[in-house]
Amino acid sequence: MDLKDILSQLENDSGEEIEKLLLQYNRENSHTFSFDQKEEKLRSRLCQSLLTVLGRQVAPSCQRTCLETLRILSRDKRVLAPVATREGMLTLGGMAALRGAEDGGDDQEKPEDVLTEEEERVVVEALKCLCNVVYNSPAAQQVSVEVQLVHGLCTSLQAARTWHHEVGLFTLRLLFLLSALRPDVRGGLKREWNAVRLLTEVLEHTLDVRWVGEYEAAPPDPQALPIPAQDNERAMEALKALFNLTLSAGGEEGDHQFRLISAILRHLLMLKTETEDKTEEAHSHAINLLNNLPVSCLDVLIEVPVQGGQEQYGGKNMDAVQGLLDFMEKRIDKGSNYKEGLTPVLSLLTEGSRHHREIRRYIKAQVLPPLTDVKIRPEVGTAVRNKLVRLMTHVDMGVKQTAAEFLFVLCKESVDNLLKYTGYGNAAGLLVARGLLAGGRGETQYSEDEEDSDTEEYKSAKPFINPITGHVEEPMPNPIEEMTEEQKEYEAQKLVSMFDKLSRQNVIRPMGVRPDGTLAPLEETLCEPLEDSSGSDSD
């Protein structure tokens, strides 16, 4: 459809004729995401003309059609100058029922619970337009703050219980985009508009949380239906916005607010949605948010009454922790996108284990049970330990370090205990990074109680375990047994000569270990005997 014809008719036709014209354009371009650069000026003029039409008194159906056209045009960031202005953003904000303080008057022209169906569709289209414009235009992000649309968003959160689904969904998505793209706005959202508290209330209402204690939600009914898809969509948008606002979890919200969020997230981890993929996605957002909260609040995950069976963990309820372990193993089994999909849950379990003794003890029992069969290499097998040990040599440095740190903390940061479960070869990267090649412990203090004594099978096999590979190897034939003394001397001289040549050409550099566990050139360490700094093997 020719843009020049559309522009000429927009200036002269009535609202009804404009609607028919734009409906045809929308049908033709509903799936268009790449636009002709030669028509940029025409599309920019069309954006301005649409804003002009929206400023008139036209029927809601015409408003919705104009907004649909503007939403299609807003996919092109190069034509948004007319929209990314104070007047343009206020127009869209008015259509979206977002009234900021600078606009004066009521926050909303009409309460959302009495919107007609057509008016609701206008609000939804306006919110979609705002999401596109804010995402694609830095100027629009700045104007959104200047015209106090952020205040309008937060005011809208207070009416969450009366939201129609799409109104709530795109309100939350717009708040997420602004909080993600404008880090400088996050502080104001938390301090001036109490956005963390409002989003927590939205999450609480959406997930139908019923409190039976200060930080204890009633457990979900096993016979209850899964979370409806629409509720799950809104919950995930609220989680994403909360994640942005808690990236620097300062003291403004206070310990109570963070513990309340932890309790709601525990409840979410116990819920299922209509599909397994959506359940995993919701749990992933919950885990990301938990990583932002103070680690002291993680005790809320286990401070729930339990019906027997877990007395060995102080009577703490480990259902949520087990859910996190199940999630971790699923992400490992996927075999892809470890950096974004796996490292958050590994980091969460690591910090929870480091700071909460019962969590560490439970996870240790599941991940690193007492060794019995040591004839198989630690990285071979289908147990969780085997999968995590394989990750310790992953090509991605972040994944490798996170997996190694997790196992190290489960071993109470004891080098000897770690080597027992992983072998020196798999643990070398962590030990080099931590300066623990000579043995010892990390800086964190752990209790010295006995938690994991060695099995009889391990004790009997321990003298025969190869410390590098971490398992008992089959005896290998000695290649020099049948050599004469002259052949042995010849091979030794040949080996020395090869090492010398590589060293002089700087291909290799012989290294040694200092007493503090760090690497240094061999000549610097020859006169520095290693001290015995091995740590306790108890757990």
d(CA 502, CA 243): 52
Would you state the pLDDT for residue 314? Answer: 80
Give the whole-angstrom CA distance, residue 329 versus residue 341. 11
With beta carbons less than 8 A apart as the criterion, state whether 170 and 131 touch.
yes
d(CA 104, CA 34): 39
**Rounded-to-integer distance, Cα 201 and Cα 238, Å:** 10
Measure the CA–CA gap between 260 and 198, rounded to whole angstroms.
12
Q: For position 412, what pLDDT does the model report?
A: 94
Q: Is 377 left (phi over 0), alpha (psi -120 to 50) or beta?
A: beta
- The Cα-based distances of 237 to 186, 199, 243, 461 in angstroms read 16, 10, 10, 53
Global pTM value: 0.86
The answer to whether 331 touches 345, Cβ cutoff 8 Å, is: yes
Token pair recorded at residue 478: 């000695």
> Token pair 């127009």 is at which residue?
91
Predicted local confidence at residue 114, as pLDDT:
67
SS (H, E, C) 5-62: HHHHHHHHCCHHHHHHHHHHHHHHHCCCCCCCHHHHHHHHHHHHHHHHHHCCCCCHHH
Q: Are 118 and 64 in contact (CB under 8 A)?
A: yes
User: Of 256, 290, 391, 380, whose CA–CA distance to 332 is shortest?
Assistant: 391
Beta-carbon contacts of residue 227 (< 8 Å; ≥ 6 apart): 207, 235, 271, 272, 273, 274, 282
pLDDT tens, N- to C-terminus, the chain (539 residues):
789 888 988 877 777 888 999 999 999 999 999 999 999 999 999 999 999 999 988 899 999 999 999 999 999 999 999 999 999 999 999 999 986 534 444 444 444 456 789 999 999 999 999 999 999 999 999 998 888 888 899 999 998 888 999 999 999 999 999 999 999 999 889 888 899 999 999 999 999 999 999 999 999 888 888 999 999 999 999 999 999 999 976 555 678 999 999 999 999 999 999 999 999 999 999 999 999 999 999 999 999 887 665 667 888 999 999 999 999 999 999 988 999 999 999 999 999 999 999 999 999 999 999 998 888 999 999 999 999 999 999 999 999 999 999 999 999 999 999 999 999 999 999 998 888 877 777 666 676 655 567 888 888 888 888 888 888 887 778 888 888 999 999 999 999 999 889 888 888 888 888 887 788 887 787 765 545 444 444 44
> What is the DSSP secondary-structure string of 74-110?
TT-GGG-TTTSSHHHHHHHHHHTT---GGG-S-S-SS
**How many angstroms separate the CA atoms of 95 and 89, rounded?**
10
Give the integer Cα–Cα distance in Å for 124 and 146.
22
pLDDT in tens, 334-361: 988 999 999 999 999 999 999 999 999 9
The first and second tokens of residue 58, run together, are 């036209």
End-to-end CA distance of the chain: 74
Structural Rg of the chain based on CA atoms: 31
Cα torsion through 243, 244, 245, 246, rounded to 10:
50
Q: Which helix (H) or strand (E) holds 366?
A: helix 357-367
Residue 288: per-residue pLDDT: 98
Cβ distance 137 to 84 under 8 Å?
Answer: yes
- Cα 285 to Cα 278, 289, 351: the distances in Å are 11, 6, 18
pLDDT tens for each residue of 376-429: 999 999 999 999 999 999 999 999 999 999 999 999 999 999 999 999 999 999
Half-sphere exposure for 103 (CA within 13 Å, toward CB): 25
511 three-state secondary structure: strand
Measure the CA–CA gap between 378 and 371, rounded to whole angstroms. Answer: 10
Contacts 24+ apart (CB under 8 A), 460-465: 461/374, 461/375, 462/374, 465/374
d(CA 196, CA 258) in angstroms, rounded, equals 9
What is the structure's pLDDT at 146?
82
